[in-house]
Structure 1
Amino acid sequence: MENKQVNILLVDDRAENLLALEAVLTSPYYRLIKAQSGVEALKWVLREDFAVILMDVQMPTLNGFDTVKMIREREKTKDVPIIFITALSQTMENVLYGYSIGAIDYIIKPFDPIILKCKVEGFVSLFLSKRKIVEQKEIIKSRTKELETVYTELKKKEAMNRAIGETSIDTIVSFDEEGIILSANPAIKTMFGYDYYEIIGRKVEVLFRIGISDIPKRAIVEATGIKKNKTTFPIEVHLSEVEVEGENIFVCSIRDITDKKTHFEKLEGLVKMRTNELSKANEKLHQEIEEKQETLQKLFESEEKYRQLVENSPEAIIVRHVNSEKISFINETGVKLFKAAGKHEIIGRSMFDLVHPDDHDMAKEHFSRLGREEILPPYEKRLVSLNGDIIDSQIKIIPFVYGGEASLHIVIRDMTEDKRNKEFIQQSEKLSVVGELAAGIAHEIRNPLTSLKGFTQLLENKYSTDREYVEIMISEIDRINTIVSELLLLAKPGRDDFRAVDLNRLLRNVSMLMSAQANLHGVAIKQENAHSLRDVMIYGDENKLKQVFVNIMKNAIEAMEYGGSIIIETKMTDRMIAISITDDGLGIPSHILQKIGNPFYTTKDKGTGLGLMVSKSIIESHQGDLQIESEEGQGTTVQVILPIMKNPCETAES
């Protein structure tokens, strides 16, 4: 686009609407002129040329339709593109009337800024192209006038040359069949530098470089004249033959065409120059056309990309017109979500066919609020697929224009899996609490059991207590110890549960499980250099390992009261892999860090102090290590170090 600004007239009686249009169309290439009435718009049209006019229909005193009719009556502005923008006159009758009086396009409020901007850019491009063509026409007209002037001058010179010939200004010589000059007119002195007596009797070839036999009769040929001083100049030779008293006499008219040659060469150069200029202008015009075609192609590709984006969106997208509950569009994700064989099974249905019967009243209430142009925040609703499955979903509704009608863009996010994950996390937390409680109970019971068993045995050996009673007591203590050992199985994995575990998949699943809680606390989970985990296998209990990482990430999320990020990094050695989980929390003071991991020590109001102890126990049972690094005010890093399986057949013992 050229640096010269083009004028765009914005007409609306509401200042806020003009401000919205100005925000969308602001560009260094546009000069945006605003008018708040039809009368003010007519004044501007009389003073300026506009590439496009955006006209509101409903205005006091002089509405948009009447204003456009008056603009079209003026010869200079009858072809200016005019786009109606309205929020009220949406009936087909009003739209057709707008087109009949000269509107180029019709946009309904609220308008899509990108569509409006693209349309204005298109009309501006057409305006610039038209202005460029007018400029080219003026250039061609100017060049044509110059050529006509040169041609006229040439014609005058030719007429003058003819007049000179008629008054014997051209050199005229006669000679016989042998080429001996018989006579010459006085012009020979001026043209060739010979006096009359010097030329008579000499061969005619002394005057020009061409053989007599090479000159056709009654024709004009160009040749090179030779002056007395041996200089040459261009001449035209006209040869005629007459018979005088039985002897053939040749009359030769010689014209000096030096000026003619000079003017012709100038004219030829001028024509060549103008031709080059026009050729360059034509090439530039073709280039602009190609650029416009390229722009249109990019626009088409952009529309295709947008279509593909909508079709392949991970969320279901449905469109229905504001004045109808019928579905007019659904993407492929939506087809899969509702278990349909194709779009044809969904399009044309009522939207309420896909809503759970218990939620119909709520859906209709939302629909009525949208009809009053209220903006609704995202909300959850139960939907029903075609096979009867219930879909827990989050719905967001965006008003927009589709197919020239006010419509609703409905984005449906399937929350079924999220709810299952949330339930799984809750269940995992319950199991974790049970495991921690079991470990705590086992720890607290085994200590007194050791004392009881020791004193009982001491009684038997030292005081000769009734042996039968002592054996019963020791037996019962052993039974209590067995029960405690079974409780420990809740917290400590058994070797029978060990399998080959894909560490990359495990961390990815844990991140997915914790994403909902992280989002709730404004925390982002980022996994760096995940490619280094490809094909890394760990031999262990997947559920217990998952419990460890869930516990660590849960602590990290709770440590960031005002949100932040969790970074998961991995580093491998020959036989071991270290997984570091770093948060942006407040960190742990050094005097507290020393006590972290001790039984029943916790900084949480409702904590048991066993979670980290159990996690450390699980990692150690996998022949690994758990380390904590923290600095107050700098966040915390928990590092889990585990042995790597060399091959799928390897076990922890090997």
Structure 2
Amino acid sequence: MEDRRVNILLVDDRPENLLALKAVLDSPEYCLIQANSGMEALKWVLKKKFAVILMDVQMPTLNGFETAKMIREREKTKDVPIIFITALSQTIENILYGYSVGAIDYILKPVDPIILKCKVDAFVSMYLHKKKVIEQSELISKRTKELEAVSIELRKKEAMARAVGETSIDTIVFFNEEGEILSVNPAVTMMFGYLSNELIGERVDVLFEFSIDNIPRRANVDTVGLKKDNTAFPIEVHLADAEVENEKIYVCTIRDITERKQHFAQLESLVVERTKELYKINKDLQREIEEKKATLNQLYESEEKYRLLVEKAPETIIVRKVKSDKITFINETGVELLKANSKEEIVGMSIYDIIHPSYHERAKKVYKEIEAGLPVLPYEEKFVCLNGDIIDIQVKIIPFVYGGEESLHIVIRDITEIKRNQEFIQQSEKLNVVGELAAGIAHEIRNPLTSLKGFTQLLNHQFSTESDYVEIMISEIERINTIVGELLLLAKPTEDEFKQVCLEELLENVRMLMSAQANLHGVVINHINQQTIHNLFFNGVENKIKQVFINIIKNAIEAMGNGGKITLETTRLDSKVLIAFHDTGAGIPAHLLHKIGNPFYTTKEKGTGLGLMISKSIIESHDGELRINSIEGKGTTVEVILPVC
């Protein structure tokens, strides 16, 4: 059985590229022939006819440009469409050169399978229409030759009939130079209606509509004869001359060709009718070709609009097949979202390579529901970027057909910032609750403190005791009042008087103040890079900053338990100064580090979770920044950044 499939030649020196092209173009209507080099491609074009050739540019020995040029130089293959597919030769010079050597199109890798298949289908369609027009033309030529053969056969038969029955079938007239009829054969009666003796001595012109002088010698001439009743009919006349006894005698053979003329008229009518039919078919084919060209142009325009729509979309768009977890397409927005350098880094990866492991089971469940035809609403999960960053995303999945296969159109929106804002709002709500609670607590504490302080001072005045206990009691009451005042910062921060504070003196006072407690727990406090803050001042409230530093050192001492080292490191950063407190404690686990500083959250057994929160509030009121870094098992570093004068 004849193979009716259309031949398509795929030329690439890389087997994987040939396999990819074959997968995209696989169709029962196509015969896909593969060539691994330019030389092999030239051998194939000598053996077979191809509707289109897809050729890589970069190939060893004989590259795509050279191969295409040689194909174009061959008469039988000069019109075969050649599409260049390349990942390297993407400069405008290479593209123009590709068209100059005969390329119909120039596609850059990575190739969009839908666009490639549509283009190939269009060229195949044009090839089939051209082939059909050629076949129709060959059919017309064949029918014309058949008609000519019929005509020749008729002439042969007539000649044979004339040779066999010349005296009985055709009218034969003998006349002299004056045109007088000398004799006729009996066929004249049947053909013209005259008896033989009626024509003897008459002018031969009586048998014709014209003068016999106009008939050339020794040639068959179609003309018109006149019967006795003046009826005209078509005849074929053959005139010859001979000399008989020095007198020229003319022999005129006349054949009635009425039937032949009828046959010719029928044949001419058939030819005209068939020609009109073929003309109409050819015109319809031409119109169909023009429509296909217009459709192809619209297809290119639609593909370009779709590509621009997807590439410029603000959301990340990923395409994967339903039956495979491999990513087949991603737009530029997705490349930026996943912190990749190019699409090639992502295409071909498993979708589970970028989904956070904690969401794998959920994602598998969603994909099974989609495969079963169930609707899936937008949902949230986490992605792992190529640089290791973890981001929050919202996913919407739409089933569709891509490259002839059932696929998933996955729209991804980055909601990391939204999540952070939500956490900030929750944090603010917690701070408001803490502030209200702090205001209530301060109010309830200060009322009895007023009575205690007043009565203590009254007792000291009335009894004039010289004991130090009264002074200690008043001092402690003032300390409680001060702490309550700090607690009120959470409820309603007060407007403090800022003034220039010497950072070097402040740190030295804090170190000396905390040395006793540090020694009690076997902790050593060191200060390095002390010269970087010599005569360095900042605008602030000295007692509040001192409170922050004391709180940080106190937390470090408690974190180290029995023995360790605290290092104060100061660094000048242009218009700011960095004060870092390093300890050698147990450190804070990574999954808990982001919770440090939240209201009422603490890692200490008897802690309240307010100390670091108050410290952070104080530093921020000084236009500064407080940061915490920790490695479990190695220690914690608290960094305070303050603007300097």
TM-score tier (shorter) = 0.3 to 0.5
Q: Which has the larger radius of gyration?
A: 2
